[in-house]
Amino acid sequence: MPSVSSSRRGRRRPVSEINVVPYIDVMLVLLVIFMVTAPMLPPGQIDVPTAGQSSAPPDALVEIRMTPAGDMRMVTRNMPQSIDRTIARRDIAAALKGLGDPASLAVLIAADNKIPYGEVVEVMNAVRAAGTSRVGLMVKGAGS
């Protein structure tokens, strides 16, 4: 009596199916290994810079204050020209050039935390476009 897999002449025909059981066994072993080792891995952490003291804080500076209402004020500190006025973004370059050489000015941007970060970056770009290289962001100290 011939077997099911043999042909009429008694020869076995090749089986055209792939046996996937070994692959499933390997995948299950890998799954168990990952499930056991995953809780042992340290969680990913991002090291963000802290706001510390500058090595040489500027004595004379220009402060640009941004409010959530969209207003900006330019205030000078310890400079020969005392300015405290509302300013538009398009007028930043002209106002900085009116204070002297923009390359020698130190500018701090004080923005409310409700202002989108993109708007703060646009003001920073306007200050840099005026020729100022010393631009910083005002932040609250650790004790504030």
Positive or negative: CA dihedral 77, 109, 139, 46: negative
| Reported pTM | 0.58
pLDDT of residue 12: 80
Cβ atoms of 51 and 63 within 8 Å: the answer is no
**In the numeric block, which tokens belong to residue 24?**
């499933």
* pLDDT in the model for residue 24: 95
Q: pLDDT confidence of 46, banded at 50, 70, 90?
A: low
CATH fold of the domain at 61-137:
Nucleotidyltransferase; domain 5 (3.30.420)
Q: Residue 9: is its pLDDT beyond 60? A: yes
Return the domain boundaries, the chain. 61-137
Quick check: 143 pLDDT over 50? no
pLDDT digits (tens, 9 = 90+) for 69-118: 888 999 888 888 888 889 988 888 888 888 888 888 889 888 888 888 88
Segment 125-130 shows an average pLDDT of 90
On whether the CB atoms of residues 109 and 62 are closer than 8 A, the answer is no
